[in-house]
Structure 1
Amino acid sequence: MTARFYADLPLAIGDALGLPERAARHVQVLRLQPEDSITLFNSRGGEFEARITRMGRSDVQVVITAHDPIEREAGRAVHLAIGMPANERMDWLVEKASELGAASVTPLMAERSVLRLKGERADKKVAHWQGVAVAACEQCGRNRLPPVHEVATLGDWLAALPPASPAAPRLLLSLRAGTQPLASALALSPAPSPITLLSGPEGGLSRAEEDAAMLRGFVPVSLGDRVLRAETAPLACLVLLTLE
């Protein structure tokens, strides 16, 4: 397998172009040489074979030689809305969610959130997480980059949602007694309908937050009797939803 790189550029067979700074730096680190082949993708469909034509001190020139329309996306689009876990756990969550096929990730601040972000610090974190998603897609073979959306409070995010639709189910991970298993909720949803999955931070969502989500069309679901960590639970759901 040739080295794969994300290039946020228009790509077409025959184009001669310089690689973006990040991709060029990694080509240099790998000690690739002129005439070596690499794979590029731009999240707009398929992947492109490119041949290195020039290695400068800090720039790399290539020519696009072929296009393969292959896609490796999950059969169902799952949009994750996550009460951000603390420390480096969000990095791990974004990386694994990207590998497992999440369609998008929205970082949220809830009542029990330890991690609080706003302004420039939030923007830097989102840019960092988007870079984590890029690296994960380069490694796993995805040609569609899952966007990491701006950090929002749970209340603001819920208020901005469009009206709920049966064609796009909304699921809420909950520890409430009597909550139906995720598998049961899936059996009732149209396949392969897109799904929005809301999961809380450490300690979960409060009762009031769950009630607010349910008023916006979210259906509470459970993964069973065990209490999973804030970064583990949404990934377990993602496996069930995308690798059916």
Structure 2
Amino acid sequence: MSNLRFHHPSALTIGTHTALSENAMAHAVRVMRLKVGDTLHLFCGDGFDYACALTSIEKKSAQVEVLSRKAIECESPLSIRLLQGISSGDRMDFTIQKAVELGVTEIYPLSTERCVTKLSGDRAEKRTEHWQGVAIAACEQSGRAIVPTVHAPLSLVQCLGQHASPETLNLILDPVGAQRLASFSKPQQMIQLLIGPEGGLSAAEIALARQHHFQSIVIGPRILRTETAALTAIASMQALWGDF
């Protein structure tokens, strides 16, 4: 049971007592049936895992004592920013979950011409909060102790205006792209990977990205679904230049 691992929403300090989050409490106490004295691990996003012991369990809360901490060294040597066209249904959740498992640094959901799902206002805020929860759960599962940020949705134009730079390696997955990842040297700078939604990026959007220093790449002769495309590209990067 000492392998149980949960995210904690605030900083942790050795020797102090803290309450488990509602989600951690529900899983540790109600699902896994931990008792006072049992141990578990918490992480708060600072790169450490904290060994903790349950000290009290109430009907709606549980307290732990923070016993020790250990540096977690499983972050990818690559800094990958995923610019992902918003997909519908569970596809976006799946893409975020697996991208975090594969080591991305941060994720920008993008509203593009062919996005089926349109988000704004409260709906966008709630969806962003949900996606951040997906990223946190993926860190719990994969052992990461630094949580990638899932940013609020932006339009493609906004994102390119804010983040496109010749100082980053900017790549766009394009079915007619002429270059393959293997043709690039191992990057020393941040990688920005732009992926379209289910219907792909329009010709105008691809042209706009190229104007903002993005280079078109292709991965194999087959057209991939949006969730497959993102994950295949990230996995290929890790295999070529990262820690696979």
Distance 1:8 1:243 in 2: 32
- 1:1-244 matches, cutoff 5 A: 2-29=3-30, 30-161=32-163, 163-165=165-167, 168-176=168-176, 179-185=178-184, 187=185, 189-191=186-188, 193-244=189-240
Q: Residue 172 of structure 1 contacts residue 220 of structure 1 at CA under 8 Å; is this kept in 2?
A: yes
Residue 116 of structure 2 aligns with an amino acid whose one-letter code is V
Distance apart, 1:235 and its partner CA = 0.3
Q: Secondary structure at the match of 2:233?
A: helix
Gaps of 5+ in 2: none
Q: Would you say the 8 A contact 2:72–2:144 is kept in 1? A: no
- Given residue 52 of structure 2, which amino acid in structure 1 is its aligned partner? A
Separation in 2, partners of 1:190, 1:2: 35
My pick for the range that moved more, 32-41 or 19-28, is 19-28
Q: Counterpart amino acid of 1:41?
A: F
Question: Cα gap change, 1:115/1:194 in structure 2, threshold over 3 Å: closer, same or farther?
Answer: same
Q: Which amino acid aligns with 1:18?
A: A
2:78 partner SS:
coil
Distance 2:150 2:187 in 1: 26
Deviations 1:123-175 (CA, angstroms, capped at 9, x unpaired): 1111111111111111111111111100111111111225321xx21111111
Distance 2:193 2:164 in 1: 15
Change (3 A) 1:35 1:243: farther
Please give the secondary structure, in 2, of the residue aligned with 1:212: helix
* TM-score, with length taken from structure 2: 0.93
Residue 134 of structure 1 aligns with an amino acid whose one-letter code is I
TM-score, length basis structure 1: 0.93
Residue pair 2:164, 2:170 contacting (<8 A) in 1 also: no
User: How many equivalent pairs are there?
Assistant: 238
Contact 1:78 1:241 in 2 (8 A): no
SS in structure 2 at match of 1:124: helix
Aligned residue for 2:52, secondary structure, equals strand
Where structure 1 has 5 or more consecutive residues not aligned to the other structure, the ranges are none
Equivalent pair of 2:106/2:149 in contact (CA under 8 Å): yes
